[in-house]
């Protein structure tokens, strides 16, 4: 799919419906509209990536003192495999670093091998395990905790 150069911008309340719909298309247990709205209200770094009027992706980062925590990131399946996720994650890393974060943390489902490999390509390293962190069709699924030093 050919697209105009993507534009990264802060998410606004006008983006909530589109971001919630995108999240629902990507996840079996998606964030709700309220989760995204709460992140906006809390002052998290909530960003969207667009090409024209098309929503390509989004990212939600919670700054905490000298750390940043990537809470959620997603790219529309139609745009996956074209480097948009890599550019969005690099933007998250750059913004966290510019905001004074010394490291960036995230969780990923143990079963999500594609995401694990993606984060490792960016220099994230596994530092822990959160048991029963994610909802799953049969109970709960563990999460791997990754971090990346930024400074």
Q: Could you say which DSSP state residue 66 is in? A: T
119 catalytic residue (yes or no): yes
* Tokens read off for 84: 């948009």
Q: Could you say which DSSP state residue 93 is in? A: H
107 catalytic residue (yes or no): yes
Listed residue (62, 58, 56) closest to 73, CA to CA? 58
Distances (CA, A) of 78 to 1, 26, 83, 89, 149: 8, 11, 12, 18, 31
Inter-residue contact 82 to 51 (CB < 8 Å) = no
Q: Which of 23, 67, 79, 107 is catalytic?
A: 107
Q: Which of 119, 134, 141, 149 is catalytic?
A: 119
Listed residue (59, 57, 51, 53) closest to 7, CA to CA? 51
**Active-site amino acid positions:** 107, 119
């Amino acid at each position: 799919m050919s697209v105009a150069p993507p534009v990264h911008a802060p998410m606004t309340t006008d983006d909530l419906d589109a971001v919630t719909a995108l999240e629902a298309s990507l996840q079996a247990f998606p964030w709700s509209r309220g989760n995204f709205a709460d992140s906006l209200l809390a002052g998290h770094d909530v960003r969207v990536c667009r090409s024209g009027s098309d929503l390509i992706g989004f990212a939600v980062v919670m700054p905490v003192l000298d750390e940043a925590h990537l809470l959620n990131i997603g790219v529309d399946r139609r745009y996956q495999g074209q480097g948009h996720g890599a550019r969005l994650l690099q933007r998250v890393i750059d913004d966290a670093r510019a905001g004074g974060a010394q490291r960036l943390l995230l969780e990923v489902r143990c079963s999500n091998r594609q995401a694990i490999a993606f984060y490792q390509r960016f220099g994230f390293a596994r530092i822990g395990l959160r048991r029963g962190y994610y909802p799953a069709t049969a109970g709960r699924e563990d999460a791997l905790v990754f971090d990346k030093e930024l400074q």
